[in-house]
Amino acid sequence: MRKYLWLVMLPLLLTGCKGQKKMSLYDEVYKERPATIYIAPLDDRSERRPMRTLDDSIYNASLNIATKQLYLTASDPLVFNGYYVLGPLASAQLAATETRTGRQLRNDNISDYHSELGIDAVLFITLHNWSETPVSWKAEIEYTLRSTHTGNEVMHVIVKASKQLQTDFKGNPKPLGVEQDFAKKYGCDLETAQRCRLVEVTNQYVLKDLPSGRRSRGNSIERYVVSHPEYFNLNINPNGGVELIRSNEN
């Protein structure tokens, strides 16, 4: 599925904590000032249903599409923030020639990415699980940005994201207009569109929080802006608004 940009910026409400300033949370990012980021193949650890019925097949296909959307829309907020991100074709070619496992890339020396390819950092995204209720979709996603210069993790975030569905007077789910447009444009069902909405908004809030890259002008007060916690819950309300709440894990 191709990228789909959600054009409406949602209000941010950070609840239950004062928060940590960017200059503290992203101290190593500010020191290294990475310019080029490679997004490694997504690590999908979520379970699929055994293929017993047509409904199982439809459900699994929906998760596959939303997972692909999670990967494809991760570059948008990075580019918006002033980073150069390898395009899908270049990323696919690099992944195809990589002989190391995902675990090795996360833990072993990856300085060759900088010396041979000019990549400053590698972004790893792990989709841990999907869950749902009759009126919500949920996903747990982990983001790790690793420097190719030092090998250090310069960003680590775990977010439990959920999307609350609008319902009609009978309690049946009622999609938003933007979700209906997405489903029509890409020929998918509304449940898939809503899952895609969930992961794309999560990418926006996690990755736009990074300090401005070298291609961005940034501003003098950015370092003092309150950032999201390392562990937090992201809730998309039925009207499309977004609420961030510190997780008890933090």
Residue 194 in tokens: 């809503």
Q: What is the pLDDT of residue 45?
A: 97
CATH class of 25-213+222-249: alpha beta
In angstroms, the first-to-last Cα distance of the chain is: 34
Sequence-distant contacts of 95-102: CB under 8 A, at least 24 apart = 95/40, 95/41, 102/40, 102/41, 102/43
What is the structure's pLDDT at 14?
39
In a structure prediction context, what are the per-residue pLDDT tens digits for the chain, which is 250 residues long? 433 333 333 334 333 345 689 999 999 999 999 999 999 999 999 999 999 999 999 999 999 999 999 999 999 999 999 999 999 899 999 999 999 999 999 999 999 999 999 999 999 999 999 999 888 999 999 999 999 999 999 999 999 999 998 888 877 778 888 889 989 998 999 899 999 999 999 999 999 999 999 888 777 789 999 998 999 999 999 888 899 888 766 5
CA neighbor of 197 nearest in space, from 83, 62, 80, 91: 62
pLDDT at position 100 is 94
Global pTM reads 0.89
CB 205 within 8 A of CB 228: yes
